[in-house]
Structures are given as C-alpha cells and as structure tokens.
Amino acid sequence: MPPKKPKKPKSPTEKPKSAPHIDREPDAPSYTKGRDDQAETKSPSVPSKRKASTTAAPSKAPRRSVRGAPRRQPDPVKIVQYLLSAASLDSCRPRDEIEDLKERDIGLRTYSSSTFTPFEELICAVILSRPISHALGLRSIRTLLNTPYELITPKRIRSAGFDAVRKALDVAKTQHRQKTAEELVLLADAVVEHLGDGEEDVSLERVRKECGYDWEKEKEMLKKHVKGLGKTGLGIFARRIQAAWPDPYPFADQRALSGLEKVGLPDSAEELKKLLDEHWIELDVKDFAGGEDEKKRRAFVRVLERAVGVDLEGNADAIRAEAASGFGSRHSDAGKPAG
C-alpha cells in the first residue's frame, strides 16, 4: 500500500471555510426600537401572509384644510374708514386709559384722541422716546397735561420746577422719572431761549420761520436744542405735528409703517397719502378743522396714530376682521379731535 501523502499545511493568511448560510427568522425582535423598526427586522425571504387586494379601493376626495385656507383680505378703504371712526378708539388705547376715561371727567385730554399744541407734542415726543411701555408713556402724558398739574406751557413748567414735574411722574408711576423730569425742565428753557417767543408761546413758529419752513432744517434745530430728542423722538414729533405743519407731510416713521402693514394698509407714507386722495369722497371727514389740505393731513395723522396704537396693543387682527365684516363710512367720527 503506497504511503499517504502528507497534508499540506494551511497558510496563515488562508481564511477558514464559513458554515453554509441558512435564512432564518430572528428569534425575537428588539424592544428598544419602535414598532416600525421592529417590522424591518423580519427577513425579506419570508413571504407576506396578507395577500394584496386585486380590487382597487375607491379613491377618497382629499380633505380641505380649514387651517390653510386663505384669509379674506379686507378692503383698505374700509380699514381707513374704521380707523377714522370712534369704534376703533378702544382698540388703540391701553386698558388703563379706557378705565381712566370712565372714572374721570369727560374732558380728560389723551394722546389717543386729543389735539395738542406743538409745545405739548414736543413734551409727548420727549416722554415717548424713553424706553418705556405704551401704557406708561400715555399715562405720563395724561398726568402731566391734565389737572391738577396742567404743565402745558414753558412758563408753567419753569414755575413748577423740577420737583413738581418729578412728583407728577411719580403719580403716573412711570419709569426713568428723574431723567425725564430733568429733560422736560430743560425743554421749557430751550423753548424760551431758542425755539419760541417767550414763556407763553406754544406754537414754535420761531423754528419754522428761522428754518425757512424746511423740515430737514427744523429737525436739526430741534435736535440741537432739545436734550433727549433723538431720531426716535423726532420721528414721533414729525408723525403728529404734520397735522398742523405741512412741512414734513407726508411722513411716517418706522413705528407707524409697521402698524400700517399689520392692519393691512400700504406701508409707505406716499402710498397711504395716495389712497386717501383717491378715496377722499368716501371718507366722512367734513367736520375736521381747516381747509381741504389740512383735513387731509389730519386724516392722514389719525390713521397713522391709530395704526400705531392698534399694533402696540396687539389688536391688528381684530381691526382687520372688523373691516372685512363690511364696516362702512357711516360710522366715522372724523369731526372729533385728531389723535
């Protein structure tokens, strides 16, 4: 018998033969996964027990989403009519002003609905340019310009002095009282010395005359002499004073442009002016003071001011809804003081 051939030694690099692969279903799914993940662990070689239906199910009509439906856009003219009306006033006012009007005399002067002199507008601009809330700013204005303080002329502020101005701001429970009181006393001094004609002058016509009725020059003169009146304060002053002074008209500061956009009106001073001009006969403004040009400026200012108030009080959607519901010009209160 021939001798057996010796077995050839395995090469160290040669891999051992693997056991034949047998497809099998896993013993148990992993419970650390979700149900969808568990379904993926089944072997694809296992046939599905559920047979696909050969009859196509009838297709269902897609559901219409109410949430995604476009909102009805109100007519801009209706929005203007509503903002000019008495019906919009409470949407522009802080809650405490509404309550104050109920409790105090009907003659209470408010920033939201009263006509102020140029000097009073300058007082308001200084107050509102401070970093305080809408409610605190308007409460400070009501306190200073109404009884018992009535700090409405340079003479009254100078006669009262810093302590009385500070006390009025304390009563208003506002912020930055010390700095605001200092700035208001300095404002009265600036009007007497540089911006007006004596302690009783509240027209500030000296500013317009010396600047040649040029708003850019008027703005620089005010900024130079009124401490605390920066870009924000000048914008607030211009927004309001254009009802009386045609020099800056048509003007809208950034705060007003934001409010216009929120209520659904053109976010451009020129476009808003154009809208008012084109639909002037549809607006009930016959009782505004002045000739037609002044009435148009007063209507323009009221729309700006109420858009700002509505925006700051978070009532823009309510205004749009009211206008979309078919509000008409028959409700206008255009004869009331601009605000």
Q: Rounded distance, CA 192 to CA 204, Å?
A: 10
Distance, C-alpha 316 to centroid of its chain: 8
In this structure, what DSSP letter does residue 194 have?
A: I
- Dihedral Cα 83, 84, 86, 92, nearest 10 deg: 40
pLDDT in tens, 273-328: 999 999 999 998 977 989 999 999 999 999 999 999 999 999 999 999 998 886 64
Q: Rounded distance, CA 77 to CA 59, Å?
A: 45
- Taking phi over 0 as left and psi of -120 to 50 as alpha, with beta for the rest, 13 belongs to alpha
- Dihedral Cα 269, 133, 324, 333, nearest 10 deg: -80
Statement: residue 111 has pLDDT above 60: yes
pLDDT in tens, 185-236: 999 999 999 999 999 999 999 999 999 999 999 999 999 999 989 999 999 9
Residues 122 and 144: beta-carbon distance below 8 Å? no
For position 21, what pLDDT does the model report? 43
Looking at the DSSP bridge assignments, the partners of residue 332 are 85
Give the three-class secondary structure for 309. helix
Q: What is the pTM for the complete model shown?
A: 0.76
pLDDT in tens, 257-276: 999 999 999 999 999 999 99
Q: Rounded distance, CA 235 to CA 129, Å?
A: 9
Residues 6+ apart with CB under 8 A from 281: none
What's the residue count for the chain? 339
Distance, C-alpha 178 to centroid of its chain: 28
